[in-house]
Amino acid sequence: MSAITLKVNGQTHTLDIDPTTPLLYVLNDDLGLRGPKFGCGLGQCGACTVIVNGRTTRSCDRPVKDVDGAEITTLEGLGTIEKPHPLQKAFIEEQAAQCGFCLNGVILTAKVFLDRNPKASEQEIQQAMSRILCRCFTNTRMLRAIARARKEMAR
């Protein structure tokens, strides 16, 4: 066991934990966060996505020791019920969620992409989102929501 310090959604947590534990397990089991989901366990589907120091990271196959001291943002850290992030607001307005399983990865991936590419074309957005697997076919509504949020975030 080792003392690992995580800065998650603006709060610092020091945990005595096996440093090889996947970050996803720590976020879910130790910190009680439910945004990142266990999907494939191989870092391929995107359900477990978190933002680490401004970059998307798959948390299911990332040992917690690799993010010791890093700034981590989960879906819970983007906005609040009273003041949702523009992406969260757009997803609600476009009714872009169905089962919600991939939603975490979609929103966090879109946030990082739009932060870096505020004038991205629809084709560029589609390409950026292509690594997140969605099986319930709400992709069209999700892309509309991302385009709507892009306009709001550019203001």
In this prediction, residue 133 carries a pLDDT of 87
CA contacts within 13 A on the Cβ side of 155: 5
Reading the chain (155 residues) residue by residue, the pLDDT tens digits are 889 999 999 999 999 999 999 999 999 999 999 999 999 999 999 999 999 999 999 999 999 999 999 999 999 999 999 999 999 999 999 999 888 888 999 999 999 999 999 999 999 999 999 989 887 767 889 999 999 999 999 87
Q: Which pLDDT belongs to residue 3?
A: 94
Identify the pLDDT of residue 29: 97
Say what the pLDDT of residue 139 is. 83
* pLDDT the model gives residue 134: 83
Tell me the three state secondary structure of residue 6. Answer: strand
* Contacts for 71 with CB less than 8 Å, ≥ 6 apart: 7, 52, 53, 54
Rounded Cα distance, 9 and 100, in Å: 21
Q: What are phi and psi of 13, to 5 degrees?
A: -130, 130
Which contacts qualify for 92-99: CB closer than 8 Å, 24 or more apart? Answer: 93/145, 93/148, 94/141, 94/142, 94/144, 94/145, 94/148, 95/141, 96/138, 96/141, 96/142, 96/144, 96/145, 97/138, 98/136, 98/137, 98/138, 99/135, 99/136
Sheet holding 2-8, edge to edge: 11-17, 2-8, 71-73, 49-52, 55-58
Run of H or E including 129: helix 122-129
Instruction: Please tell me the predicted confidence (pLDDT) of residue 90.
Output: 96
Helix (H, G, I), strand (E, B) or coil at 120: coil
What was the pLDDT predicted at 101? 83
What pLDDT score was predicted for residue 72?
A: 98
Going along the chain from its start, the domains and CATH numbers come out as 2-77 (3.10.20.30), 86-153 (1.10.150.120)
Quick one: which H or E segment has residue 151? helix 139-153
